[in-house]
Homo-oligomer: A and B are copies of this chain.
């Protein structure tokens, strides 16, 4: 599909994608309203009835997406085809720029007794302790054969290990047994080409465990989700676009970089993200603005906070509208209903607004119920980018 669209690409106007992470919700047991339906959103409501609404299905009906598949879909990439491994996502999450042949793995500091793992999270050690131990391990085990190994601390017991060197194939098994009371596993190649990767990983782990010998409680390190960044066609080359991503969290900036966006950090508040986007306005054709708070509030089961963050976004919308983009899309990468305290499979409210959009004049409110009756119907998230390109005049006629 992307190469088909590439064949139609032509220069055009300005596109803005605002993603409220985990936007979709479920009705509150008392009010019957979702988080979005309960929010006071006069600006989004006006765009909804002046534009086209629908529900977006991120991966497939019934499938709950993680952040990777959720965002790749919104960027127009089939999430079942372009899979971002655990290790890569973690590396993006700490802001590592992975080279194309680097292999990344997610790491846990853990506690062992003898050779048995007794706590896969080492009692959730503080983040400072994680930093100290990551530095220690890297110092003592940072070079294996001709492979450079970097250890990046994340939060608490979490870290990321990146292997850089020739001939590393990520198709190896985990050392993390994902269970306690059992020994860590040896890393093994899943294909013959990955024999070297497995050997290097096992040597690294042996030295890391030596380095952690006297530590308590974090006297072991476990690796899982070895992968390298997927080889993805880049938005700029596909569509002749200059694309910019604005996000507070590194993972979303990293995901955007995977598809060829330039990524910019913003402060933690909603207003700061929009400030940053407006600063970048003139330099880019496609602006992606990421708001994390809706997802975090949903995960916490905090209806009120999720509602409030949606209202904060609503208050910023006029600043975008007055710049007259050719197309503005507001949606989420997946649902995170406060009722479930987790990501879910429910389709996500979607609005598309701009001078060339159909008008769903019967829509009153930007929310799950009204979007269910919108003119876009249920569409796969990967269909949003083509619609945006079209509304920005960036896709030529197909066929004579």
Contact = CB atoms under 8 A, between A and B. Distances in A.
Interface stretch (A195-203, A287-295, A372-380): A372-380
Contacts of A372: 358, 360, 374-375, 377
A332 interface: no
Copies of this chain, whole number: 2
Interface in A51-105: 55, 59-70, 79-80, 83-84, 86, 89-90
A400 B60 contact: no
B63 A395 contact: yes
Interface stretch (A162-170, A185-193, A338-346): A338-346
A216 interface: no
Helix, strand, loop or mixed for chain A's interface? loop
A65 B27 contact: no
Contacts of A345: 387, 390, 395
A266 interface: no
Interface residues of A, number: 65
A347 B385 CA distance: 16
B398 A359 contact: no
Contacts of A79: 398-399
Contact of A62 (B61, B340, B347, B395): B395
B8 A63 contact: yes
Interface stretch (A120-128, A134-142, A311-319, A361-369): A361-369
A65 B8 CA distance: 11
A63 B340 contact: no
A397 B359 contact: no
A389 interface: yes
Nearest to A396: B64
A11 to B, nearest CB: 16
A119 interface: no
A361 B32 contact: yes
Contacts of A225: 400
Nearest to A86: B400
28 contacts: A4-B60, A4-B80, A5-B62, A8-B63, A26-B356, A26-B358, A32-B359, A32-B361, A55-B377, A59-B398, A62-B389, A62-B395, A64-B396, A64-B398, A66-B399, A68-B399, A68-B400, A69-B398, A69-B399, A79-B399, A89-B400, A340-B356, A342-B397, A346-B358, A360-B369, A369-B375, A372-B374, A372-B377
